[in-house]
C-alpha cells in the first residue's frame, strides 16, 4: 500500500511542476468563472447589456469560453506523457502579477455586475463595441496576469516551442468538438432528459407535492407556489457527448497499451456510471432549487456542469487505468 508523506508529496509536485501549474491555473480560472456565474445568471438577465454581449458578442461568448475550457482538457490529455517527463526548472512567479490578477478580476467582477444592471437598449446599441471590447479585454488581462504569475515569459516561450504542434492540434480538436457536439446534441437530449425525469421522480419520494409536467422541449416543475422550466439545453446532453469524445481521445492515444475488450467494457460501464452521476447532479440541483430558488437556477446555468463531468470521467479513468493496460504476457 502506498503511503504519502509531506516530503514525498513535495517531490511529486516538483517532478510534475508543469502539470501542477496547468491544473492550478484551470482550478483557479474555473472557480472564478463559477463564482461570477452564481451572481450573473444569463438565463434570468435577458434584457441586460451583459447578457447581450455574452450571448451575441463580437468576438466569442459562450462558444469561446467552452473552446478555451476544452482546449486545456484536450491539451493536457494528448500531452500528458510529455508533460510529466518534461525537465522543468522552476522559476518563481512575480507576485506583482498575482496582485494584478486579483485587482483586474475584482474590477472585471464589479464591471460585469454593472453591465448586468443596465437594460437601456439605446445605451447598449450606442456603446456596443465599447462594452464588448472592454469586457472581453479586461477578461483577457486578468487571465494573462494569472498565467504570468504561474509561468514567466521565458517559461511560456520555451513551453510553446516544445508543445506548439500539440497546442495547434488541441485548438483544432476543441473547435471540431464544439461543432460536432452542436450537431449531436439533439440526439443526446433524450438521454439527458431521461436523467432529469428520473431525478425529479426520485425527489417526489421526499416531496410528494412536487408536480412534474412534460412540456414541449422542457419539463415544468411546480412546488409550493413556484415553478421552473428545465429545458433540454440545460439538461446535460453535452456532458454525454463529452464523455464519449474524451474516452475516444484517451483510447486513441493509448491504443497500443490497452486491452481492447476491457476498454470496451470500461467504456460501457463508464457511460452508465456517468448516467447515474448525472441523475445525482439533477437531483441535487433541483433539491437546491426547492430549498433556495435562485441558487438552484444559477447552478443549472453555471460552469459547474463541465467541471463535474470532467471529475467523473477522471474518476472512471483513475479506477480502471491499471486494469485497462494489457497484461505483460501480451507484449
Q: Structure pTM?
A: 0.75
Helix H or strand E encompassing 227: strand 226-231
Residue 81 CA to its chain's centroid (Å): 22
Note the pLDDT of residue 209. Answer: 86
Give the three-class secondary structure for 218: strand
For the stretch 142-168, pLDDT in tens is 889 998 888 888 888 888 888 899 999
For the stretch 57-75, pLDDT in tens is 554 555 666 777 788 888 8
Q: Which residue has the higher pLDDT, 48 or 269?
A: 269
Note the pLDDT of residue 5. Answer: 64
Residue 33 CA to its chain's centroid (Å): 10
Mean pLDDT across 180-207: 86
Note the pLDDT of residue 269. Answer: 92
Mean pLDDT across 107-125: 81
- For the ranges 17-21, 67-71, 90-94, 256-260, the maximum mean pLDDT occurs at 256-260
Give the three-class secondary structure for 128: helix
For the stretch 263-317, pLDDT in tens is 899 999 989 998 998 898 888 888 888 888 777 666 666 667 777 888 888 888 8
For the stretch 74-91, pLDDT in tens is 888 888 888 877 776 666
**What percent of the chain clears pLDDT 90, i.e. is strictly above it?**
8
| Residue ranges of domains in the chain | 6-330
By C-alpha distance, which of 75, 78, 73 is closest to 314? 73
Note the pLDDT of residue 268. Answer: 92
Note the pLDDT of residue 29. Answer: 83
Intra-chain end-to-end CA distance of the chain, in Å: 26
Other residues' Cβ atoms within 10 Å of the Cβ of residue 225: 5
DSSP-derived pairing of the beta strands 226-231 and 211-215: unpaired
Note the pLDDT of residue 1. Answer: 46
DSSP codes, 233-277 = GGTTHHHHHHHHHHHHHHHHHTGGGB-HHHHHHHHHHHHHHHHHH
Note the pLDDT of residue 265. Answer: 92
Instruction: Please provide the average confidence, as pLDDT, over all residues in the chain.
Output: 80
Can you give the C-alpha Rg of the chain in angstroms?
22
Amino acid at each position: 500500500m502506498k503511503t504519502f508523506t509531506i516530503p514525498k508529496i513535495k517531490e511529486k509536485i516538483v517532478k510534475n511542476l508543469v502539470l501542477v501549474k496547468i491544473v492550478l491555473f484551470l482550478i483557479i480560472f474555473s472557480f472564478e468563472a463559477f463564482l461570477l456565474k452564481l451572481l450573473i445568471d444569463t438565463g434570468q438577465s435577458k434584457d441586460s447589456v451583459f447578457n447581450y454581449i455574452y450571448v451575441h458578442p463580437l468576438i466569442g461568448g459562450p462558444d469561446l469560453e467552452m473552446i478555451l475550457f476544452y482546449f486545456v482538457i484536450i491539451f493536457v490529455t494528448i500531452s500528458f506523457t510529455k508533460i510529466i517527463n518534461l525537465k522543468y526548472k522552476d522559476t518563481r512567479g512575480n507576485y506583482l502579477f498575482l496582485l494584478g490578477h486579483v485587482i483586474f478580476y475584482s474590477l472585471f467582477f464589479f464591471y460585469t455586475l454593472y453591465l448586468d444592471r443596465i437594460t437601456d437598449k439605446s445605451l447598449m446599441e450606442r456603446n456596443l463595441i465599447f462594452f464588448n471590447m472592454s469586457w472581453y479585454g479586461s477578461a483577457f488581462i486578468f487571465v494573462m496576469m494569472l498565467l504570468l504569475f504561474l509561468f514567466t515569459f521565458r517559461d511560456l516561450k520555451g513551453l510553446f516551442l516544445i508543445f506548439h504542434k500539440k497546442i495547434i492540434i488541441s485548438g483544432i480538436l476543441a473547435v471540431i468538438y464544439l461543432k460536432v457536439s452542436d450537431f449531436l446534441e439533439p440526439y443526446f437530449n433524450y438521454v439527458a432528459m431521461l436523467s432529469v425525469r428520473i431525478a425529479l421522480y426520485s425527489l417526489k419520494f421526499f416531496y410528494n407535492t412536487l408536480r412534474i409536467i412534460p412540456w414541449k422541449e422542457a419539463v415544468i416543475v411546480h412546488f409550493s407556489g413556484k415553478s421552473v422550466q428545465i429545458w433540454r439545453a440545460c439538461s446535460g446532453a453535452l456532458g454525454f457527448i463529452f464523455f464519449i469524445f474524451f474516452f475516444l481521445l484517451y483510447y486513441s492515444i493509448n491504443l497500443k497499451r490497452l486491452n481492447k475488450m476491457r476498454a470496451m467494457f470500461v467504456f460501457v460501464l463508464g457511460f452508465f456510471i456517468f448516467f447515474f452521476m448525472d441523475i445525482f447532479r439533477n437531483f441535487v440541483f433541483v433539491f437546491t432549487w426547492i430549498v433556495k430558488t435562485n441558487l438552484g437556477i444559477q447552478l443549472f446555468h453555471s460552469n459547474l456542469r463541465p467541471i463535474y463531468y470532467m471529475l467523473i470521467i477522471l474518476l472512471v479513468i483513475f479506477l480502471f487505468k491499471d486494469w485497462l493496460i494489457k497484461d505483460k504476457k501480451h507484449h
